[in-house]
Structure 1
Amino acid sequence: MDRRRWLKNSVLLAALPLWIIARKVQAATWFASAFEAKQTAQVLAALKATAVPVASDLSIDAPQKAENGAVVQIELSSTQAAGKLRSLRLLADANPTPLIASFELGKQVLPRLVTRVKLAQSGEVIALAEQGNGQFTQHRRQVIVLEDGCASSEREEPFASSMKMRARMLESSPLGNHVTELKIIIVHPMRTGRSKNEDGQLMPAHFMQLMQVVMNGQVIVDAQTGTAISRNPYFTFYIQDAQVGDVITVNWQDNRGLEGHGQVTVAV
């Protein structure tokens, strides 16, 4: 089943009760050639992003020095208005697979988001923005990493997932009026395939690949994620013109075909 059909099904499912949604999520195509690429140049080639200029409107808020590379909070933002950018992508040049995540943003979503990532070693974190006309721009920031966050040891635990969500309308915000802050935490191991268990054996990769945010029956964020999103993925998005009482649904799927679903109502 192709990606467009999955998008259509997710939109239709947003209006259904959660117990029905949980049984009917459809598969989509994960952009393997970009996420499995070993070098940033290969990622850019897969995305057809060549000769990408540096943009003054893009910024990356990240620590100058990350003591624990397994959990590094990063904020990507652009000064452009909602609906002007087609997507924001996050890369880490020194990671074994540089592409961390891709976010296609609907016209209601401000080009600003927060997530937590794994950084293997010191290097450049890259924000890649795709304009509405298909052109790309970029911004880079150097981050020093003191401890590898991509290949640490982990305990083997039975898989059990859950989700916490909060959608709060901001009364006063530098982002403007009528902005809703959506926070999402998904319980998931996000194993890279390079970590080892307590016996020193490699643990198979197990990570979330697809996530959609649907509001009032419309997909407003269509995300793809790789192995470098931190354990228990965390995201913050900013939505314009949502109303108190609007229903937001989040659906995700991982590399093993497992799925999760959550729902929240916009509140003050």
Structure 2
Amino acid sequence: MTAAARRDGLRAVAALALAAAVPALRAAPGGLPQAEDGDSSEAWERLRAQLFGTRPLLTGAAVRLEAPRRAAYGASVPVKIVPALAQTPQLWMKRLTLVVDHNPSPLAAVLELTPEIGWPEFETRLRVDQYSHVRVVAELSDGTLHTDSRYVKTSGGCSAPPNRDAPEHIGSTLVRLLEPARVGVAGAAEVTVLHPNDTGFELDQRTMFYIPARFVRTLAVSYAGRPLFDAELDFSISENPSWRFRFVPQGPGELRAEAQDSQDARFSGRLAVEPQA
């Protein structure tokens, strides 16, 4: 399946799940929904069936999701995906699916990984539109699925207007190391695309019209010409989408990021890396 076909399929799945889903959260005093981290929801059960069918989802074995219990700003909720095993040719994490149950577009990201990533730990920021579970599903190369979730209390993430102070910088793609690179050691790096990631639910206070949706749709990151990960993204990722990750350089090379948004604009960034022995 081509990337474009997979992307269209994922969008169709998310749309069907959203259309059919009715939130099934328990109401707390005052009307605020409440749930526990490991709970399910009707929205999740429908999306799970569309994405994974009847395949079993194992908990607590291979992946952990970190997120705040209560987030002050729903348009920028930090999340961290923490693996329990390193990438090896014998067993590796091949796919990560990130979901926000009750977002207008619940399927936030699908990351296709390679063994080159070394240690498949990722950090990003999400838009969370209302009290919701945030979930990660990790698929290993042996076909097993592993999941973890956190219930996040916040709202308004998909209607908060983005910052447009410097529109001329839209598309700038920043690639940087967060620590000195060392040969054979999983070092931290970050890729950020300066982009408003408009959701289509934000009201322009000057015109009183909704801002049309436009967001980073794909991100491909490679090192020394070899792919590290490819990401299919949606507007549930915050503005200026940023991904922190770890990779294992085996020698000098170029860390490169290529992005494309939903209007087919293309952006790229690169960084020459000279790892220490």
TM-score tier after normalising by the smaller chain length: 0.7 to 0.9
Equivalent positions of 1:176-215 (< 5 A) are 178-198=185-205, 199-215=207-223
Secondary structure at the residue paired with 1:60?
strand
Pick closer, same or farther for the CA change 1:29–1:128 going to 2, 3 Å: closer
Aligned length: 240
Percent identity over the alignment is 25
AA aligned opposite 1:80: L
Q: Secondary structure at the match of 2:60?
A: coil
Structure 2: segments with no counterpart, 5+ residues: 19-42
- For 1:191 and 1:108, locate their aligned partners in 2 and report how far apart those are by CA, in whole Å: 32
- List per-residue Cα deviations over 1:224-244 (Å, max 9, x = no partner): 11111000011011012x045
**110, 119, 128: which one pairs with 1:102?**
110
8 Å Cα contact 2:184-2:250 kept in structure 1: no
Deviations 1:164-211 (A, max 9, x none): 111355579xxx961121211110110111111113311111011111
Aligned counterpart, 2:13: 34
For the 8 Å contact 1:61–1:75, the answer to whether it is kept is yes
Give yes or no for the alignment of 1:266 onto 2:273: yes
Q: Closer, same or farther in 2 for the Cα pair 1:92/1:156, shift >3 Å? A: same
**Counterpart of 2:13 in structure 1: which amino acid?**
A
TM-score, structure 2 length as denominator? 0.78
Map residues 74-89 of structure 1 onto 2, 5 A cutoff.
74-83=79-88, 84-89=92-97
Contact 2:110 / 2:233 at 8 angstroms: preserved in 1?
yes
- TM-score (ref. length: structure 1): 0.81
CA RMSD of aligned residues (A): 2.5
Q: Point out which structure has higher relative CO (alpha carbons under 8 A, 6+ apart).
A: 1
Q: Which residue of 2 aligns with 1:248?
A: 255
Displacement after TM superposition at 1:266 (Å)? 2.2
Judge conservation of contact 2:59–2:148 (CA < 8 Å) in 1. Answer: yes
Q: What's the offset of the Cα at 1:152? A: 2.2
More displaced stretch, 185-194 vs 27-36: 27-36
Matches within 5 A, 1:57-206: 57-83=62-88, 84-109=92-117, 110-145=119-154, 147-154=155-162, 158=167, 160-167=170-177, 170=180, 178-198=185-205, 199-206=207-214
Q: Which moved more, 1:48-57 or 1:209-218?
A: 48-57
Letter of the 2:11 counterpart? A
Comparing 99-108 with 244-253, which one deviates more in the overlay?
A: 244-253
SS in 2 for 1:65: coil
The residue type equivalent to 2:87 in the other structure is A
Report the CA distance shift for 1:35/1:226 in structure 2 as closer, same or farther (over 3 A).
farther
Aligned to 1:221: 229
Matched residue SS, 1:221: strand
CA gap of 1:108–1:73, structure 2 versus 1, over 3 A, is same
Distance of 1:230 and 1:184 partners within structure 2: 14
Q: How far 1:87 moved relative to its partner?
A: 1.0
In structure 1, runs of 5+ residues without a counterpart are 4-26
Task: Please identify, of 157-166 and 249-258, the stretch whose mean Cα deviation from structure 2 is larger.
Answer: 157-166
Q: Compared with structure 1, are the counterparts of its residues 189 and 177 closer, same or farther at alpha carbon in structure 2 (3 Å cutoff)?
A: same
